[in-house]
Amino acid sequence: MDEARRTEIALGAILTQNTAWTNVVRALANLRRSGLRRLSDIRRASPSRLERLVRPSGYFRQKAKKLRVFAEHVLGKASKLSEYLERPTRILRPDLLGVWGIGPETADSIILYAARRPVFVVDAYTQRIMSRMGYFKEASYDDARNFCASRLPRRHEIYNEFHALLVAHAKQHCRATPRCPGCPLLTSCRHGRSSRA
């Protein structure tokens, strides 16, 4: 995987925080069109320019800052992203978690998708599906992560596909049965809550 692709994946992981992917695509396209393809470009761009380019992905002031902080952090430790990602996962993960704007899901997404290491990514869909299907209830991020990781072959391709299947299943179910009262997976499902008329 080339440097540009890795960079786009890492930036996308940050930009997609609590945001629909279609909006992230616009922001990435803006960055690409404007020639900001490497972390060194991100680091050099003015804050207002960065904000304008990532605006379609929402939380644009926060995210512009997150991209800059990330770029500065990585380039402070390596000459380029690929080199930074070569470090062992046990070093890489805590290091990423220490960066402002990068939480557990974003860190794990970067490690799984950009570095291609077997680190299981837990997201809102994973938590919702697994807990509603009774595998665990309200587990912490790390508990849910360990639960899944310990039951799958330790390979990044497997983690990647499993995660994709969870997301696809959740979305498919939402489209297929909107507002189904007994739906165990549905986002808009409000078990035990009073529904507004």
Locate 167 and state its tokens: 């997301």
Locate 34 and state its tokens: 């404007």
Query: Which residues in the 128-147 window bind DNA by CB under 7 A?
Result: 140
Closest CA to 166 of 185, 145, 139, 147: 185
Selected from 8, 30, 34, 58, the binder of DNA by CB under 7 A is 58
For DNA, the closer CB: 79 or 94? 94
For DNA, the closer CB: 60 or 79? 60
172 lies in the site for DNA, by CB under 7 A: no
- Strand, coil or helix: 119: coil
Buried b (16+ CB within 10 A) or exposed e, 169-178: ebeebbeeee
Selected from 34, 78, 80, 99, the binder of DNA by CB under 7 A is 99
9 lies in the site for DNA, by CB under 7 A: no
DSSP labels, 22-69: HHHHHHHHHHHHTT--SHHHHHHS-HHHHHHHHGGGSSHHHHHHHHHH
Selected from 59, 116, 149, 156, the binder of DNA by CB under 7 A is 59
The 3-state secondary structure of 71-106, one letter per residue = HHHHHHHCCCHHHHHCCCHHHHHHHHHCCCCCCHHH
195 lies in the site for DNA, by CB under 7 A: no
Least spacing, CB of residue 5 vs DNA, in Å = 15
Q: For residues 11 and 63, what is the distance between their CA atoms, to the nearest angstrom? A: 10
For DNA, the closer CB: 60 or 136? 60
**Stretch of residues binding DNA (CB under 7 A), selected from 38-46, 59-67, 77-85, 147-155:** 59-67
Q: For residues 155 and 25, what is the distance between their CA atoms, to the nearest angstrom? A: 28
Least spacing, CB of residue 82 vs DNA, in Å = 20
For DNA, the closer CB: 77 or 169? 169
Q: Which residues bind DNA (CB under 7 A)?
A: 16-23, 26, 55-63, 99-107, 109, 113, 121, 123-125, 140, 163-164, 167, 171, 187-188, 196
